[in-house]
């Protein structure tokens, strides 16, 4: 089940921010594209207005800027890290990419992310260095809170 299928029944508008030259949208999400001089302001606005921030880790400067703002602005309680790193069934590649991300995040933010788990791809944190992994986004406390489920 892909992420959009898991989120389809939420009464919220799903938005993904992309680069102007990206051609492939995330299925089920409204793709917003911004120029290099506008994307950071747009991302900050979306973060502030969002009930949930689904953040896909990687090691680019822009994504680490986003993560720094999530921590700096105390949006940790809105954050779900979706650890699906692409490369479909190439689990070794996904694990390597995630491990690189986790190491860099630890260096930059002194934040210890949980080890890669191919079966639990959604991680949430209520406080620094306390992360919990879930198989489906619907199992996260944040999803249950915004969907009204228990």
Per DSSP, the three-state class of 24 is coil
**8 Å CB contact between 10 and 146:** yes
Give me the chain's average pLDDT, please.
86
Whether residue 87 is predicted with pLDDT greater than 70 in this model: the reply is: no
CA–CA distance, 116 with 98 (Å, rounded to integer): 7
Tokens of 96: 């390597």
CA atoms within 13 A on the CB side of 40: 11
Backbone angles phi, psi at 45, to 5 degrees: -65, -45
DSSP line for 109-137: H---PPPP-TT--EEEEEETTEEEEESSG
pLDDT in tens, 62-80: 999 999 999 999 999 999 9
DSSP bridge partners of 81: 55, 123
* pLDDT value at residue 70: 96
Residue 84, SS3 per DSSP: coil
pLDDT above 90 coverage of the chain, percent: 47
Question: Does pTM surpass 0.75?
Answer: yes
Residue 88 has pLDDT above 80, yes or no: no
Give 24's pLDDT tier (boundaries 50, 70, 90).
low
pLDDT of residue 125: 92
Sorting pLDDT into bands at 50, 70 and 90, what band is 133? very high
CA nearest to 47, candidates 35, 65, 28: 65
pLDDT at 4: 65
Higher pLDDT, 18 or 56: 56
Mean pLDDT of 1-22: 72
Q: Distance (Å, rounded) from C-alpha 111 to C-alpha 51?
A: 23
Whole-angstrom Cα distance, residue 85 to residue 108?
20
* Torsion of the alpha carbons at 107, 112, 115 and 120, rounded to the nearest 10: -120
């Amino acid at each position: 089940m892909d992420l959009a299928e898991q989120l389809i029944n939420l009464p919220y508008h799903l938005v993904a921010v992309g680069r102007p030259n990206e051609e492939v949208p995330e299925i089920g999400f409204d793709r917003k594209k911004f120029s290099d001089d506008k994307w950071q302001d747009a991302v900050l606005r979306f973060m502030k207005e969002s009930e949930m921030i689904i953040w896909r880790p990687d090691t680019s400067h822009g994504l680490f800027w986003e993560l720094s703002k999530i921590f700096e602005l105390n949006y940790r309680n809105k954050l779900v890290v979706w650890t699906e790193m692409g490369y479909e069934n190439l689990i070794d590649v996904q694990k390597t990419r995630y491990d690189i991300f986790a190491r860099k995040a630890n260096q930059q933010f002194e934040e210890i992310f949980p080890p890669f788990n191919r079966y639990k791809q959604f991680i949430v944190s209520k406080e620094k260095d306390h992360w919990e992994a879930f198989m489906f986004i619907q199992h996260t406390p944040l999803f249950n809170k915004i969907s009204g489920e228990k």
